[in-house]
Amino acid sequence: MMKYIQALQNVSLFDEMSIDEISLTLSSMDTFIKKHGKRDCICLQNEAFSRIGIILKGKVQVIRRHITDDIASIHTLDTFDTFGEDIICSGRTATPYSIEAVEESTLLYIDGTRLFIMDKQNSSYRGKFFKNIIKTVANRSFLLNAQVDYIRILSLRKRVAVLLLDHYYNNGQNLFTIEFSRAEMAKYLNATRPAVSKILAEFKKEGMIDYYRNSFKICDVDRLSKQ
């Protein structure tokens, strides 16, 4: 566990916490580390799950399926991403999604059944941890709400433009990185990957943006805003 403590400062749940505070927080909880092989099932939709998962190494996919077994959504979590906080905070006993390892991955699990039991000895640093849990869940909720707003835009061209402009304004500069792959961006915008890639290429050809992989540069804010 100790070899991962410093790396855990990159995890949102330990934001603004010192190495000592992270170590004390984890020592006051029930935790364990587990390695998963490629395509290993970490949890199944609608089955009991009462842990917070932190990806120490590797990637996992979050998959949500309709009752008809059609995949409704899928996105990838990378190293230092987390999952399960929403389940713990909601008081649910079952997960609304499945999680599968994309590649060989190492995860740190925190038992959520006694997570919010505090005493005077650990209240200070665990208080920071709880605050970060709330912030992480709130930020995730914000992204989901933003996704609904994007999908309400009828024109896909406008949808892509608004997504890029939101990142531009949120970052406060015209050069930024988007956390989505092209396939994930397409699913987030309720579109196909070829359609999104075509629009990005058109924006670039028209001189409104430039990009390389997930790095983007807004070259003409006014024109992009008028799409």
The predicted pLDDT at position 182 comes to 87
Q: Map 8-46 to HEC letters.
A: HHHCHHHCCCCHHHHHHHHHCCCEEEEEECCCCEEECCC
pTM: 0.70
Cα–Cα distances in angstroms (integers) from residue 134 to residues 80, 94, 131, 148, in the given order: 17, 20, 5, 21
- Report the CATH fold assignment for 153-225: Arc Repressor Mutant, subunit A (1.10.10)
- What does the block give as tokens for 127? 């208080």
pLDDT at 132 over 80: yes
- Report the CATH fold assignment for 2-149: Jelly Rolls (2.60.120)
**Could you give the residue range(s) of every CATH 1.10.10.10 domain in the chain?**
153-225
DSSP 210: E
∠179-183-187 over CA atoms, to 5°?
90
Q: Which residues contact 33 (CB under 8 A, 6 or more apart)?
A: 1, 4, 56, 106, 107, 108, 109
The predicted pLDDT at position 68 comes to 55
Q: What is the pLDDT of residues 72-126, one digit of tens each?
A: 566 788 999 999 998 888 888 788 889 999 999 999 999 988 787 766 566 678 8
Residue type present at position 31: T
- What does the block give as tokens for 176? 């930024």
User: What is the spatial distance between Cα 207 and Cα 216, in angstroms, rounded to a whole number?
Assistant: 13
**Could you give the residue range(s) of every CATH 2.60.120.10 domain in the chain?**
2-149
- Across the chain, mean pLDDT equals 88
